[in-house]
Chain A
Amino acid sequence: MSETTAQHDNPLLEGLSFRRTPDPCALVIFGASGDLTHKKLMPALYSLAFRQLLPPRFAVIGVARTQGDDGSWRKEMKQAVQQHSRDEFKQDVWDGLAANMHYTATDFADEGGEGKLEQLVEQCDKQANLGGNRVYYLAVPPPAFPTIVEALGKRRSATGWTRLIVEKPFGHDLASARELNKMLWAHFDESEIFRIDHYLGKETVQNMLALRFANGVFEPIWNRQFIDHVQITVAESIGIEGRAGYYESAGAIRDIFQNHLLQLLALTAMEPPIDFKSDNVHSEKVKVLKALHTPGPKSVVRGQYGRGFVEGEEVPAYREEQDVASDSMTETFVAAKLFVDNWRWADTPFYVRMGKRLARRETTIAIQFKRAPHPPFEETAAEGLRPNVLLVHVQPDEGVSLAIGAKVPGQGMTIRTVHMDFLYGGAFRIGMPEAYERLILDTMLGDGTLFTRSDEVEEQWLLVDAIVAAWQRDRPAFPNYAAGTWGPPSSEELLRRDGRSWRRN
């Protein structure tokens, strides 16, 4: 009898709760000296170790061009964990993790770089009996992808499984995304490729699925009959934080709209999947993305911030940021009116906006319902009454609130809007896991539900390319909004034309 069959027949396992524990594996991080590794990846690995969620046999191998060795990298990563981890620093947890951390300084463009890494990974595998299982994390700029991917593809482990995590941006446009997919598929199967959009790892984003599909009360009214419109806001109060090189060529539309924002929209508008298997969830999201109507020029607003005040502090204009061209036409704000052309959402606008240096950091999805058909109150009684809004707070203050009309106590009938709040941190008094913890663990487990599939990425680019193509024909007067505000006046106008307004923040 095989080991698997024997366990399958084991009656003692019934009723026992088991954590999802990944197979033993080696995690190879390309870009091990970079910002992402410092601020997100290593703190996430530490938090997984803290909760004993890592595989029992595990190794982390850092790869970067920066000179260093195991000792110096461990020291650097320890500081990163102490600085950025959500968990208290425990020496024994760190020691357990660090004992299996190795570093190699190498440049894949050089001869011998690949061999050096392969040798180190195999040595770790042999020492810890990792079964040839590998997760490769490409935390490097896109131009470095082809060399690394080709090298990894050529030297795949003969045993075990291989998975590849690819960070955004996934391409610059549809053509480059297709090219990138083609290059990856030459060496890896689609099921081995994990394209990260870290928003999908956020608890509140996943809660959108729970909210919709676990509550019988919402889904029957989640359509054009009851919903007036949807507003999605991804607002940041920070500027470009020294990333001019990337941001100048990306802009808000490639940085946020193409990935995070369209994913939030897809989760809001998708049909219920038949189950939670990765492919079925992706397929429903793709249907929404395919149904997105390309907005005309009048339905898209772009902006760029000028000088202004954020939290009382004067901040420079985008064009005054370091390494930004003084006549830059890069947009730092986009607002759009989108339509999902299908049976459920026909004629229901999805207003979306995203940008940098806005009044505050906030990511929300607001479902605004239609007004009551005939409120039997005097006009003055209901002056303070606004339509019902179901507001999903993705960040900060993760939770859900419902705006309802309630009678003000006292004589007569005066109606005011009040909020019923569900605050995540209030109902579930456990620390919210960082998105990267969930996503790294899911990769080790081979679960691609919270990653983006190739066809999703391509549909997202198709829409972005169409919007950007129209921008080539005009030259807006940038800057057109002051830092610390909610974007250019034309953004307000976009809704005002429809007799609506952006949600009061």
Chain B
Amino acid sequence: MASELSDWTGEDVRLADVDRAIGQLRAATVTENGQPSLRTSVMTHIAWVPEGWVDPARAALSGMAERHPSRAILLLPEPNAGADGIDAVVSLECYAVPGVDREICSEVIELRLRGLRAKAPASIVEPLLISDLPVFLRWRGEPPWGAQELDQLVGVTDRLIVDSTEWDDLPFPYRNLAELFDRTAVSDIAWARTSRWRTLLASLWPDVASVGVIRVTGTRAQALLIAGWLRSRLDRDDIVLEHVEAERLEGIELDGKPAPFPPGDPPIPSDVLSDELERYTRDPIYEAAVLASLQ
């Protein structure tokens, strides 16, 4: 269970104020024996959270630091707000370590980027990145392809995590996404959620190799990615996709025959995100599936 130390809040701040606040909050964690809480981090976790995504983003982040001790930076862009400026809320989330009288504390920095400040986010996060550790960028909603803020943040990121289930007009945005593959590794939560089904389909080898029509009941993103995956892995462009809309992946038929349901329960959202935070390299199978989904 996390204990949250009192926040520091500032309006129209400079990053030096944020740094100082982190230091002060940390100093306040010094225990009676003079030992500060442990600062153990495995990454910097940035989340770009446009209006409308704030609550889900906070919910997904909640408890993530316990599993992946990290500095979390939530960027809340408000390009249409009146005056330019940055408002900040800084807090420490601390977790007990069994058998040790010290806690692990992770910093959560929430920055509201008003006006033009939302246009140059890389210059805002760069001073706050933890040196030498990987940077993960979780982008809620569909990224503004070609926009300066996306371009900048991708430039400082080792891995971009999106959920293409959150996008409209699929598969067209995949073309834009594919343009980023050479710049950063990409994780897609929608793809991760198909993992159990892909394992199941792989177990149907070699019969699955001759499939002509695949009917997927699930989100549009999941249907496109599974079809793209089969096309790319089997090196065939003649596999026809039929899609039945559903909120989650509920079933797959191969040439009219239902595939068996994969064993186990589907992973909960925080587990899916948590797994993606443990990947560090490009996923060529996903990239090929994205490109093949455009066929």
Contact = CB atoms under 8 A, between A and B. Distances in A.
Interface of A: 1, 6-7, 9-18, 52, 396-397, 421-423, 425-430
Contacts, number: 68
Interface in B181-222: 195, 198-199, 201-202, 205-206, 208
Contacts of B208: 12
Contacts of B100: 397, 423, 425
B42 A15 contact: no
B22 to A, nearest CB: 18
A13 B97 contact: no
A280 to B, nearest CB: 26
Q: Which 6 A-B pairs have the closest CB atoms?
A: A15-B285, A12-B202, A426-B40, A10-B205, A426-B104, A11-B233
Kindly name the residue among B67, B205, B208 whose own CB sees the greatest number of chain A CB atoms within 10 A. Answer: B205
A6 B206 CA distance: 7
Given A14-B285, A16-B195, A429 B206 contact: no
Contacts of B40: 421-423, 426-427
Contacts of A17: 195
A426 B69 contact: yes
Contacts of B195: 16-17
B139 interface: no
B69 A10 contact: no
Contacts of B68: 429
Interface in B246-262: none
Contacts of B198: 12, 16
B242 to A, nearest CB: 20
B97 A12 contact: no
Nearest to A7: B205
B127 interface: no
A63 B175 CA distance: 63
B38 A16 contact: no
A425 B98 contact: yes
Given A427-B41, A429-B104, 14 more contacts: A6-B206, A7-B205, A12-B205, A12-B208, A14-B233, A15-B283, A15-B286, A16-B202, A397-B99, A421-B38, A425-B97, A426-B40, A426-B104, A428-B42
Given A15-B283, A16-B195, A427-B69, A10 B202 contact: yes
Kindly name the residue among B38, B40, B201 whose own CB sees the greatest number of chain A CB atoms within 10 A. Answer: B40
Interface string B275-295: 000000001111000000000
B221 to A, nearest CB: 18
B234 to A, nearest CB: 7
Nearest to A428: B42
A421 B39 CA distance: 9
B234 A11 contact: yes
Interface in B59-76: 66-69
A429 B202 CA distance: 32
Contact of B233 (A6, A12, A397, A427): A12
A164 to B, nearest CB: 32
Nearest to B102: A423
B89 to A, nearest CB: 24
Contact of B97 (A16, A426, A430): A426
Nearest to B42: A427
B202 A430 contact: no
Given A6-B205, A426-B40, A429-B67, A16 B199 contact: yes
Kindly name the residue among A1, A15, A422, A430 whose own CB sees the greatest number of chain B CB atoms within 10 A. Answer: A15
A6 B209 CA distance: 12
A426 B42 CA distance: 10
Given A12-B198, A15-B283, A396 B99 contact: yes
A317 B283 CA distance: 62
A134 to B, nearest CB: 26
Given A397-B100, A425-B97, A430-B67, A15 B284 contact: yes
Contacts of A11: 233-235
B207 to A, nearest CB: 10
A137 to B, nearest CB: 28
Kindly name the residue among A9, A12, A423 whose own CB sees the greatest number of chain B CB atoms within 10 A. Answer: A12
B174 interface: no
B95 interface: yes
B72 to A, nearest CB: 14
Contacts of A7: 205
11 contacts: A12-B229, A13-B202, A15-B283, A15-B285, A16-B195, A397-B99, A421-B38, A422-B40, A427-B41, A427-B42, A429-B67
A426 B285 contact: no
